Structure 1
Amino acid sequence: MKNYDAVILGAGQSGMPLAKKISNIGLSVALIEKRVIGGTCINDGCSPTKTMVSSARVAHLVSRAADFGVILPSYQVDQEIVKKRKDHIVTLFRGGAEKSLSKNENIDILMGTAAFKDSHTIEITSSTGSTETVKGKKIFINTGSEPRIPEIDGLTGTPYLTSTTVMELEETPEHLLIMGGGYIGLEFAQMFRRFGSNVTIIDRAGRLVSKEDEDVCKEISQIFSDEGIDTLFNSEVRKVTYQDGFTIITKTPEGEKSLKGSHLLVATGRIPSSARLGLENTQIKTTDKGFIRTDDFLKTAENHIYALGDVAGSAPFTHIAYHDAHIAFQHAYKGNGISKKERLVPYCVFIDPQLARIGLNEQEAKDKGIPYKTGKFLMKHAGRTLEVDETRGFFKVLVDPKSKKILGATILSLDGGEIMAILQMAMVGGVTYDTIATLPIAHPTLAESLNNLMGQIE
């Protein structure tokens, strides 16, 4: 049995940078990974999905070529080539990650499934069934999450798709049924509609992206409707059958409906990958949903064990997992009191136009009783969006009436994530909205619409 200064469970977007940080101060690290290096982001999430989203956007732009004076006789989507391009990017990114880790002589990469034997001892079971054990002075859990598959009559045993397997398709679905209208479901819905599929979303909520403000939800719903994507709201799938295609029985406010489709994507959220870690052999506690309980510095009930990323209930974004590695490293090895409560949590949903958020929206401000003023600027009035004919969406900002500092922003726009990052930095730097309103921002750029946005605040 080998002893390490640190044992890390999972080579995802917390595990990899954390392993490097620890090894760089001269300590030994065992990095245990059950599947492939890179975690969800590189292999099943950000990298492959955004690669496919890019292919879908090209298809969309080609379909609109005549709007720009470019006349094309025809075009077609080759799903097999789309998949090959996605696979190439995944292989490229994964290879880069593996190469970066392998260069470090203080890191041992151990492939297999990890489980606690006691609070310092981890048993690793390889794909062939062989086992080995390692000990760690400190242990970091970064096992991520996995698709949640609901218990629905008939679903088990059918060839349903998840957010991972849907990207392995080499044919374009004739009619893709999607259970779930969350961020993952929306990205795939628009993507496959642009590839040429008929798409129907079945969502239990009363509107898409229900955590966003109502005007955001309405705008996205209109965008999706304009692109020919059907949505059933307040609906719940009760039964699934498969015979040369899917038939699903759905409970709706108007009664039961039967829907048929060639493919079914289950996009009903994700659950933490904590059930098979042997946590019962430690003092570590979990929530009712299986998330590992931690303090504000990501430390568990065991003083030498930390949990990071999705499995710890952190916001389910790669950049937050990466930041968790920073918090845990500083707390475990530097004695710094950087808390997860002190960070702003940005995110971007890669529908088109992009939906990006930072800080509070109106819904949250009202729920918390926080006073605010708001400004809103429609993209159909922005010079840059008119020039490129991408006029859907809007900028929206909340500010403190007294300090004039930004409380939050929602950007539904072309390159919305990039604009959101500007406002994030303004929030961190304490830049007031009236300062931004009169900044000489380069013309003609999308960012100069921030002048107009801040000028709308009254």
Structure 2
Amino acid sequence: MNYDVIVIGSGPGGYVAAIRASQLGLKTAVVERESLGGICLNWGCIPTKALLKSAQVFEYLNHAADYGIKIEGQGVVDFEAVVKRSRGVADGMSKGVQFLMKKNKIDVINGFGKLKGKGVVEVKANDGSTTDHQAKHIILATGGRSRELPNLKQDGVKIIGYRQAMNLPKQPKSMVVVGSGAIGIEFAYFYNSIGTKVTVVEFLGDIVPLEDEEVSKQLNRSLKKQGINIMTSSTVESVDTSGDLCKVNVKTEKGMEVLEAEVVLSAIGISTNLEGIGLEETGVKFDKGKVLVDDYYRTNIEGIYAIGDIVKGQALAHVASAEGITCVEKIAGLHVDPINYNNIPGCTYCSPEVASVGYTEKAAREAGYEIKVGKFPFSASGKASAAGAKEGFVKVIFDAKYGEFLGAHMIGANVTEMIAEVVTARKLETTGHDVIKTVHPHPTMSEAIMEAAADAYGEVIHL
């Protein structure tokens, strides 16, 4: 078959790129070796949020008395049912992508896609047969997988990655989570909430190390209060899996310590899927696991593009989607601005939630800005008090000279829903005074953004 665009990979980068291409009148196909929606819809973003919702419901039950509600007996976690619900949510989302493919008249080619010369994609089906497909434009969107360290090889049973973590046959009584990025923290929160004894081991000095230091320290306190053991400035040297329990040898600032756990979850990032897709044969340049592209995701070979986890930028679903749209619109001849990677929101869906965008306070100072910093605690928020969610705060950073909105960092209930306000404000070049004078509804958690901005300028009302 001959196409205008073939996308290899149907994750949130690939399927979104395909839909936008079809909308723009380009004959489009998607090559997918597994399930439509990729890791995000099937084994990442979506099913993990379903697990986290079950944990949240369980926590509500356990704290119902705090809201004046008496429940006879004690709630019990049916782990198998929790996992089944999560898988059902993921399956429903994947079916939704199937519907979108049909609606937009996009051909879905099942199999493993590989570049084969100029304008040719070879697809190897599960039965081993191969077919060639032609396209003027080929977009690589092959995504990533759980990263492995030499001393932390995953066996899928005792040492696992995120994929096994959301589909275990039974709930482990104990778990060591290696790495405290979003994936590690979300699973640590989930398993701890339903009764698993959890220890988090982080190499750096703070958990969620990409976040503002104040947010990291607040989350550390919150998770420890929930019963999670957190070890920072610590390294897993080796794991002995020969016995019933894993013996995890951890090097700390005080010396070696041995932890015992049923399961070790390796959450130390992702590796890109570049193997066997024809990069070397076609001469596409890549370095350190990333395909080299320009601002519009064009590789050094005409007609070949790359988006998502396999290129520069944050390995996030919403980034991949934005890159796919930008790439396709440029192919179609539309005027499109390059993505501003300093205005990408990051979210961690534990409890309390974490959300941020732009410069941290430290990064802003290092970049040479003279800054104004404002902070508003949710303990002073009427809505947060009414909801029983007074933990956390909103922190905002402005350029003192021009009022430019440099960054925002939030920790608290539902802050992942609030961060988009700041992303939009920064996109529109909104100043600190603009935020202060933007009337926010009362009572809402979002008022904290306005109050934090007012605090930066010495105008805060409710502190």
Q: Give the shorter-chain TM-score range.
A: over 0.9
Indicate whether 1:264 and 2:264 are aligned.
yes
Deviation at 1:120, TM superposition (A): 2.1
Deviations 1:45-82 (A, max 9, x none): 11100111111111112121222222223111111111
Structure 1 counterpart of 2:416, which letter?
A: G
Report the alpha carbon displacement of residue 286 of structure 1 after superposing the two structures with TM: 0.9
Sort the Cα spacing of 1:173 and 1:436 in 2 relative to 1 into closer, same or farther, 3 A. same
Matching of residue 381 in structure 1 with residue 396 in structure 2: no
| Rounded Cα–Cα distance in structure 1 between residues aligned with 2:418 and 2:22 | 36
CA contact 1:186–1:351 (8 Å) conserved in 2: yes
Shift of 1:343: 6.8
Contact 1:359–1:407 (CA<8 Å) still a contact in 2? yes
SS state of the match for residue 93, structure 2?
helix
In structure 2, the partner of 1:50 is 49
Match of 1:164 in 2: 163
Q: TM-score, normalised by structure 1?
A: 0.95
* Aligned-CA RMSD value: 1.7
Q: Retained in 2: the 8 A contact 1:212–1:363?
A: no
Code of the residue aligned with 2:284 in structure 1: it is I
* Residue equivalent to 2:277: 277
Q: Percent identity of the aligned residues? A: 29
> 1:202, 1:231 within 8 Å by CA — same for their partners in 2?
yes
Q: Which residue of 2 aligns with 1:189?
A: 188
Aligned partner of residue 189 in structure 2, secondary structure: helix
Q: 1:258 is aligned with what amino acid? A: V
Shift of 1:234: 1.8
Shift of residue 253 of structure 1?
Answer: 1.8
Inter-partner Cα distance in structure 2 for 1:291 and 1:195: 38
Equivalence for 1:81: 81
- Contact preservation (8 Å) 1:119, 1:281: no
Q: Secondary structure at the match of 2:287?
A: coil
How far apart are 1:335 and its partner, in Å?
Answer: 4.3
Classify the secondary structure of the residue corresponding to 2:207.
coil
Shift of 1:203: 1.3
C-alpha displacement of 1:313: 2.7
Cα distance in 1 for partners of 2:340, 2:46 equals 28
* C-alpha contact (below 8 Å) 2:313/2:341 kept by paired residues: no
Name which of structure 1's ranges 58-67 and 333-342 shifts more when overlaid on structure 2.
Answer: 333-342
**How many angstroms does 1:362 deviate by?**
0.7
Pair 1:17 & 2:16 matched? yes
| Worse-matched range after superposition: 325-334 or 138-147 | 325-334
| AA aligned opposite 2:413 | L
SS of 2:166's equivalent in the other structure is helix
Distance 1:357 1:178, change over 3 A: same
Q: Cα distance, 1:256 vs. partner? A: 1.6
Q: Which amino acid aligns with 2:172?
A: P
Aligned residues: 455
- 1:180 and 1:149 map into 2 onto residues whose CA distance is 12
Deviation at 1:449, TM superposition (A): 2.3
SS at match of 1:139: strand
Query: What's the counterpart of residue 419 of structure 1?
Result: 418
Distance of 2:236 and 2:440 partners within structure 1 = 49
Tell me whether 415-424 or 388-397 shows the greater mean CA deviation: 415-424
Per the TM alignment, residue 272 of structure 1 is displaced from its structure 2 partner at its CA by: 1.1
Q: Which runs of 5+ in 1 are unaligned?
A: none
In structure 1, give the amino acid aligned to 2:13.
Answer: S
Give the corresponding residue for 1:59.
58
**Which residue identity does 1:284 align to in structure 2?**
V
1:267-317 deviation line (CA, Å, top 9, x unaligned):
1110111122120012211122x1111011111111211101111133111
- Structure 1 pair 401/82, CA: closer, same or farther in 2 (3 Å)? same
CA distance in 2, matches of 1:450, 1:254: 41
2:444 corresponding residue in structure 1: 445
- Residue by residue over 1:210-254, the C-alpha shift from the partner in whole angstroms, topping out at 9 and shown as x without a partner, is 222221111010001000000122222222222222111122222
Pairing 1:353-364 to 2, within 5 Å after superposition? 353-364=352-363
Please say which of residues 234-243 and 31-40 is displaced more in the overlay.
234-243
Alpha-carbon deviations, 1:314-336, whole Å to 9, x = none? 31111111111111012111242
1:304 aligned residue: 303
SS of residue matched to 2:49 = helix
Is 16-25 or 271-280 further displaced after alignment?
A: 16-25
Q: Does 1:252 align with 2:252?
A: yes
> Which residue pairs with 1:409 in the alignment?
408
Q: Which residue of 1 aligns with 2:121?
A: 122
Distance 1:21 1:58 in 2: 37
| Residues in 1 aligned to 2:336 and 2:386: alpha-carbon distance in whole angstroms | 48
Tell me: CA distance 1:171–1:48, structure 2 relative to 1, closer, same or farther (3 Å). same
User: For residue 287 of structure 1, what is the aligned residue in structure 2?
Assistant: 287
Alignment partner of 1:189: what SS? Answer: helix
Point out the more displaced range, 154-163 or 398-407: 154-163
Call closer, same or farther: CA 1:31–1:392 in 2, change over 3 Å: same
Single out whichever of 182-191 and 155-164 deviates more from structure 2. 155-164
Q: CA deviation at 1:156?
A: 4.9
The secondary structure found in structure 2 opposite 1:449 is helix
Give the direction of change, closer, same or farther, for the CA distance of 1:413–1:210 in structure 2 (3 Å limit).
same
Q: Report the Cα offset of residue 26 of structure 1.
A: 3.5
Unaligned runs of 5+ in 2: 458-463
Q: Name the SS of the counterpart of 2:159 in structure 1.
A: coil
CA distance in 2, matches of 1:153, 1:453: 43
1:265 counterpart SS class: strand
Residue 461 of structure 2 is matched in structure 1 by: none
Amino acid at match of 2:330: H
Tell me how far apart the structure 2 counterparts of residues 236 and 424 of structure 1 sit (CA, whole Å): 35
- 1:168 aligns to what SS in structure 2? coil
- Please say if residues 175 and 263 of structure 1, whose CA atoms lie closer than 8 Å, have aligned partners that are also in contact: yes
Q: The residue matched to 1:177 in structure 2 has which SS?
A: strand
On the 8 A contact 2:201/2:234 being kept in 1, the answer is yes
User: Retained in 1: the 8 A contact 2:122–2:130?
Assistant: yes
Contact 2:154 2:160 in 1 (8 A): no
Q: Once the 2 structures are TM-superposed, how far is the Cα of residue 337 of structure 1 from its aligned partner?
A: 4.1
How far residue 43 of structure 1 moved from its aligned partner, in angstroms, is 0.4
1:151 CA displacement = 0.7
| Cα-to-partner distance string for 1:105-156 (whole Å, 9 max, x where unaligned) | 4x22111111222232222111221111122211100001110011117755
Distance in 2 (CA, whole Å) between partners of 1:204 and 1:22 is 42
Which range is displaced more, 217-226 or 251-260?
Answer: 251-260
Deviation, structure 1 residue 429: 2.4
Q: Kindly tell me: are residues 440 and 18 of structure 1, through their superposed partners in 2, closer, same or farther at Cα, counting changes over 3 Å?
A: closer
Which residue of 1 is the match for residue 319 of structure 2?
Answer: 320
Counterpart amino acid of residue 128 in structure 1:
D
